Amino acid sequence: MDWDRTVRANLRHYLPEQGTLVPERLVGHGRGRAALRDVVLCVDQSGSMAASVVFAGVFGAALASLRSLRTSLVAFDTAVVDLTDRLDDPVDVLFGTQLGGGTDIGRALAYCAGSITRPSATVLVLISDLFEGGSRDELVRRAAALTASGVRVVVLLALSDDGTPAHDHANAAALAALGVPAFACTPDAFPEVMAAAVEGRELPNRTEG
């Protein structure tokens, strides 16, 4: 924040009766509009995750509109598809995602890792019930490498109205041992969860909404 320029820009908003200045316009030292945080939404598109895919598309579009965040959206089953270039149109995101069958979470995390350029400024939200059709060891190894690099990894077992998913308890426990919280979340709670993740606040490490 450039306080001298901020004060000068807001002198006309001085309230003499209260002896205070109302800073309606804030002036900073920053150049351009660089995002403060990178957010990667990595969404399991297997059939059991249908509701979560819909909500993730909507929230992904909303997050993409925030200048302080640089948001990416990746969907996966056994393949991985990057939907980041469709985030301006949530309808395109939702209908561009075909719900599939199998699941390879390790492969999806590997793809996300390859696109991360600022690990310490990145939050990766994996939305999955953690039923891994690929290698469980690969899933854990990829998650461990991401956290070791400085990425904050959060697992939402569901992003749905009821927030009570079936999930793989063993994989959730393995990720928890790495310091990766795994819990369910309802759509109305998602903004607060996302804010806490971005700000580095403590998140629940439990399998409930």
Provide mean pLDDT across the span 185-203. Answer: 87
Q: Give me the percent of the chain exceeding a pLDDT of 90.
A: 41
Q: What is the CATH number of the domain that holds 81?
A: 3.40.50.410
Tell whether 14 and 42 lie within a shared domain.
no
Q: What per-residue confidence (pLDDT) applies to 25? A: 58
Q: Are residues 108 and 77 in the same domain?
A: yes
Residue 162: inside a domain: yes
Q: Let me know if residue 135 belongs to a domain.
A: yes
Residue 114 lies in a domain: yes
20 and 43 share one domain: no
Asked whether residue 208 is domain-assigned, the answer is no
- pLDDT above 90: residue 163: no
Let me know whether 86 and 14 are in one domain: no
Mean pLDDT of all residues belonging to the chain: 83
Instruction: Let me know: does 36 contact 68? Beta carbons within 8 Å.
Output: yes
Domain check: are 17 and 68 in the same one?
Answer: no
Q: Which of 29-38, 118-127, 165-174 shows the lowest per-residue confidence on average (mean pLDDT)?
A: 29-38
- Is residue 84 domain-shared with residue 118, that is, in the same domain? yes
Q: Is there a single domain that holds both residue 20 and residue 93? A: no
Taking only the tens place, the pLDDT of each residue in 79-108 is: 898 989 888 776 677 666 665 668 999 999
Whether 87 and 18 share a structural domain: no
Under 8 Å between Cβ of 96 and 86: yes
Domain check: are 177 and 74 in the same one? yes
Range(s) of the domain holding residue 44: 37-199
Q: Do residues 1 and 45 share a domain?
A: no
For residues 71 and 164, state if they share a domain.
yes
| Whether residue 186 sits in one domain with residue 166 | yes
* Stretch 171-181: mean pLDDT: 95
Q: What is the 3-state secondary structure (H, E, C) of 159-196?
A: ECCCCCCCCCHHHHHHHHCCCCCEEEECCCCHHHHHHH
How many structural domains is the chain composed of? 2
At 209, the pLDDT band (50, 70, 90 cuts) reads very low
Question: Of 7-11, 30-34, 120-124, 193-197, which range is least confident?
Answer: 30-34
Q: Which two tokens stand for residue 187?
A: 């759509």
Task: Indicate whether 207 belongs to any domain.
Answer: no
Q: What is the pLDDT of residues 46-66, one digit of tens each?
A: 877 878 888 888 888 888 888
